[in-house]
Amino acid sequence: MKIQVNDGVEKTMSDLKLAIILGSTRPGRNGAAVADWVLTRAKERTGATYELVDLLDHPLPHLDEAVPASAGRYAGEHTKAWAARISEFDGFVFVTPEYNHSTSGVLKNAIDFLYAEWNNKAAGFVSYGSLGGARAIEHLRAIASELQIAHVRQQLSFSLQTDFENFSVFKPSERHDGAATALFDQLESWAGALKTVRR
């Protein structure tokens, strides 16, 4: 545990470290506002420390490793840097758009570069799209299972019709606040349990 001081008030913080991974790099992306909303709420919590990981800051080529990631023999410096970044975390919140009934290509590519760095960690999902991005989450759940990521039941799905003004200005309904709290509660619980598994 560590102590964090905010406005003179001491809070005991968990040692859990969780990443909010922003899974879109498109110009004008809606995902930045969604990820910021998630991060703002996450930073109010004491059960874990949350940090934004923006894929724009980690440009990866199309998967260019000759050996499967499960072998753990990364050749590219970009892969090694990405592995080092992801290995820091105990769990993840994947923020994904829905493109063609699935997640974004850039997020899938970033996930595919690694293996052990994802194993025995927890994840939650936040999506946005015309149907709330629910189909993107379904695909990510299957991917996470293969990578031995324990994904929590609670998810957040934001509709372009009802949670965005003119399909571009993020104005989420207040009903999402309770779902966000449930997602964080589940994620922190599972991430803490899996940390003992990795030890």
Question: Domains of the chain: which residue ranges?
Answer: 2-198
Each residue's pLDDT tens digit, 11-67: 566 899 999 999 999 999 999 999 999 999 999 999 999 999 999 999 999 999 999
Give the whole-angstrom CA distance, residue 26 versus residue 63.
Answer: 19
Beta bridge partners of 169: 165
* CATH of the domain spanning 2-198, picked from 3.10.310.30, 3.40.50.360, 3.40.50.150, 3.40.50.300: 3.40.50.360
Looking at residue 117, its pLDDT comes to 98
Contact 124, 93 (CB under 8 A): yes
Q: Are 41 and 52 within 8 A, CB to CB?
A: no
Alpha helix (H) residue ranges in 30-163: 31-42, 77-87, 105-112, 134-146
What is the C-alpha to C-alpha distance for residues 62 and 65, in angstroms, rounded to an integer?
9
**What gap in Å lies between CA 109 and CA 176, rounded to an integer?**
29
Reading across the β-sheet that carries 121-129, which strands appear in turn? 49-54, 17-22, 91-97, 121-129, 149-159
- CB crowding 28-50: b at 16 or more within 10 Å, else e: ebbbbbbbebbbebbeebebbbb
Predicted pLDDT at 14: 82
Per-residue pLDDT tens listing for the chain (199 residues): 555 555 665 556 689 999 999 999 999 999 999 999 999 999 999 999 999 999 999 999 999 999 999 999 999 999 999 999 999 999 999 999 999 999 999 999 999 999 999 999 999 999 999 889 999 999 999 999 999 999 999 999 999 999 999 999 999 989 999 999 999 999 999 999 999 999 8
End-to-end CA distance of the chain: 17
